[in-house]
Amino acid sequence: MNNEFNPEILNEKGLNLQSIFNIDELPKDMISALTVSVPSLSQYNQLIVIGHGGKTMWNSLSSDQLATSDPIDDYSVSAVTSFINNNNSISDFKFIYPSNTVIPLQSLGLLAGWHHSSLFRIGINDKWGSWFAYRVVVLTQSNFETTVKMEGDAPCAKCVTKDCIKVCPVGAVTEENFEFEKCFAYRKQPNSKCIDRCLARIICPVATEHSYPEEQIKYHYGRSLQSLKNM
């Protein structure tokens, strides 16, 4: 008999994307890879991917929470821990993301129906556009009903105007591939238009009602720029 997942606590915190998998029903190559990364995998029977879509998560963060070194990871882990502690249906659990463990996030996103490739190399779907992200992956000993895959086609395949190609200042976005070196080099230039945002992502017309607030966009791209400079 399946137990109720009851995601209200998570939804209120803006962690409004959840996908539950039975580990033994995952693709065999994924199970093998996870077993290498997580030797204790056999102690759990379900894997839960939790993400956020849209603005709610950012709007839930307080100024004090934003002051930590990894505010979004800290917030997400805290919220999921609270959810687990209030759910008697979970007898054991282990966070495997965020962590140093290698996790196939995009492959899990494909299985969940969240992820389709975009020309600007950020996951995209019809419901949330590119305005969603993976926040937590947790292994559990539980008996929840597995999640139905989110339906929807790849939005970029249906796009006619390809505005993301036109707006990229250095031509890094193309139909054939994404030229990462051009993108990264331009972002590091002092007068770059892409220092704190991706123009190709912002101009994408899919689910623009869910686009992040300006402060969140600057936060994420500020951190990614710092990572580029440290490479």
pLDDT in tens, the chain (231 residues): 678 899 999 999 999 999 999 999 999 999 999 999 999 999 999 999 999 999 999 999 877 787 788 999 999 999 999 999 999 999 999 999 999 999 999 999 999 999 999 999 999 999 999 999 999 999 999 999 999 999 999 999 999 999 999 999 999 999 999 999 999 999 999 999 999 999 999 999 999 999 999 999 999 999 999 999 998
pLDDT of residue 1: 63
3 three-state secondary structure: strand
- For residues 21 and 46, the answer to whether their CB atoms sit within 8 Å is yes
Name residue, tokens 């137990």: 3
| Pairwise CA distance, residues 47 & 53, whole Å | 20
Note the pTM of the prediction, 2 decimals. 0.94
User: φ, ψ for residue 50 (rounded to 5)?
Assistant: -125, 135
Between the alpha carbon of residue 145 and those of residues 13, 32, 72, 83, 212, the distances in Å are: 22, 23, 28, 17, 31
Q: How crowded is the C-beta side of 18, counted as CA atoms within 13 Å?
A: 22
